[in-house]
Chains A and B, each alone.
Chain A
Amino acid sequence: MRGYLGIDVGSVSTNIALMDEQEQVIENLYLRTQGQPIRAVQKGLDYIRNRIPADMEIGAVGTTGSGRHLASIVVGADSVKNEITSHAVASSKLVPDIQTVLEIGGQDSKIIILRNGVVADFAMNTVCAAGTGSFLDQQASRLNIPIEEFGPIALKSTTPVRIAGRCSVFAESDMIHKQQMGHNLPDILAGLCEALVRNYLNNVGKGKEILGPVMFQGGVAANVGIKRAFEKALATEVIIPEHYGVMGALGAAILAGEAVKKTGQTNFKGFGIAEEEFSTLSFECGDCPNLCEVIEISAQDKVLARWNDKCGKWSNSILKKQKVGEEAC
Chain B
Amino acid sequence: MPVKIGIPRALLYYNYFPLWNGFFKALGIEVKVSSRTTKAVLDKGVKQAVDDACLPVKLFFGHVIDLRDSGVDFLFIPRMVSVERKAYICPKFLGLPDMVRHNIPDLPQIIDVTVNMSRNEKNLFKALAGAGKQLGKSGFAIRKAFKRGIEEQERFHRLNRLGFLPHESIEQMENGLLDQNFPPNLSREMTIALVGHGYNIYDQYISMNLIEKLRQMGVNVVTPDNLVDDLIEERSGELPKRMFWTLGKRMIGSAFHFMRSDHIDGIIHVASFGCGPDSFTGEIIERHLRRKRRVPLLNLTIDEHTGEAGVITRLEAFVDMIQWRRAAQ
- A: which residues have CB within 8 A of B? 66, 81-85, 116-124, 126-127, 207, 209, 288-292, 308, 310, 325-327
Chain A residue nearest to B312 in the complex (CB): A325
Least CB distance from B73 to A in Å reads 24
Q: Is B41 touching A289 in the complex (CB atoms < 8 A)? A: yes
Q: Please list the 8 inter-chain residue pairs (A to B) with the smallest Cβ-Cβ separation, ordered nearest first.
A: A84-B317, A289-B38, A289-B40, A82-B316, A119-B321, A118-B328, A82-B313, A85-B320
Contacting residues, chain A, for B40 (C-beta < 8 A): 289-291
A71 to B48, CA, bound (A): 40
Q: Is A85 touching B309 in the complex (CB atoms < 8 A)? A: no
Least CB distance from A282 to B in Å reads 13
**Interface residue stretch chosen among B86-94, B180-188, B297-305:** B297-305
Q: Mark B274-315, 1 if CB is under 8 A from A, else 0.
A: 000000000000110010000011010101010011101110
Least CB distance from A30 to B in Å reads 21
Interface check B39, CB cutoff 8 A: yes
Interface check B325, CB cutoff 8 A: yes
Q: Is A85 touching B316 in the complex (CB atoms < 8 A)? A: yes
Given A117-B328, A121-B297, A122-B317, 10 more A-B residue pairs with CB atoms under 8 Å apart are: A81-B316, A82-B320, A84-B314, A118-B325, A127-B301, A289-B35, A289-B38, A289-B41, A308-B308, A327-B316
Least CB distance from B314 to A in Å reads 6
A231 to B313, CA, bound (A): 29
**A292, A310, A326: most-surrounded residue (chain B CB, <10 A):** A310
Q: What are 24 residue pairs bridging A and B, where the CB atoms are less than 8 Å apart in the complex? A: A66-B313, A81-B316, A82-B313, A82-B317, A82-B320, A83-B317, A84-B313, A84-B314, A85-B316, A85-B321, A117-B328, A118-B321, A119-B320, A120-B325, A121-B296, A122-B318, A123-B299, A124-B314, A127-B301, A127-B305, A289-B41, A291-B38, A291-B40, A308-B308
Interface check B118, CB cutoff 8 A: no
Q: Is A290 touching B39 in the complex (CB atoms < 8 A)? A: yes
Least CB distance from A157 to B in Å reads 35
Number of B residues contacting the other chain (C-beta, 8 Å)? 32
Contacting residues, chain B, for A121 (C-beta < 8 A): 296-297
Contacting residues, chain B, for A292 (C-beta < 8 A): 39
* Dominant secondary structure at the A interface: loop
Whether A119 touches B38, Cβ cut-off 8 Å, given contacts A66-B313, A326-B216, is: no
Q: Is B305 touching A122 in the complex (CB atoms < 8 A)? A: no
A84 to B312, CA, bound (A): 12
Q: Is A118 touching B324 in the complex (CB atoms < 8 A)? A: yes
A235 to B320, CA, bound (A): 31
Q: Is B301 touching A310 in the complex (CB atoms < 8 A)? A: no
Least CB distance from B271 to A in Å reads 10
A291 to B318, CA, bound (A): 30
Contacting residues, chain B, for A82 (C-beta < 8 A): 312-314, 316-317, 320
Contacting residues, chain A, for B290 (C-beta < 8 A): 207, 209
Contacting residues, chain A, for B316 (C-beta < 8 A): 81-82, 85, 327
Whether A66 touches B314, Cβ cut-off 8 Å, given contacts A117-B328, A326-B216, is: no
A83 to B317, CA, bound (A): 8
Interface check B76, CB cutoff 8 A: no
Chain A residue nearest to B41 in the complex (CB): A289
Residue in contact with B286 in the complex, picked from A83, A124, A126, A207, CB distance below 8 Å: A207
Contacting residues, chain A, for B312 (C-beta < 8 A): 82, 325
Least CB distance from B268 to A in Å reads 13
